[in-house]
Amino acid sequence: MGCSVLVLGAGPIGLVSLLTAKAMGASRVCVTGKCYILLALHFINYQEI
């Protein structure tokens, strides 16, 4: 698909949305949220997948 996706929220639903978007073929996924610690943890963990 190659689409870009914006996920609003870095909680559990946002993380599942990120993984779903990548599985569906999104080329870029951006996650926003209020908690920078959650965003950093998701980014670090996603890089390992």
pLDDT at 18: 87
Domain count, the chain: 1
> What distances in angstroms separate CA 33 from CA 1, 2, 24, 25, one per listed residue?
25, 23, 22, 23
Question: What is the per-residue pLDDT across 1-49, written as a single tens digit (0 to 9) for each?
Answer: 578 999 988 788 988 998 899 899 998 888 887 766 666 666 666 555 5
* Domain enclosing residue 22, as ranges: 4-48
pLDDT at 41: 65
Q: What angle do CA 44, 48, 49 make, to 5 degrees?
A: 120
Spatial CA neighbour of 5 closest among 30, 34, 32, 25: 30
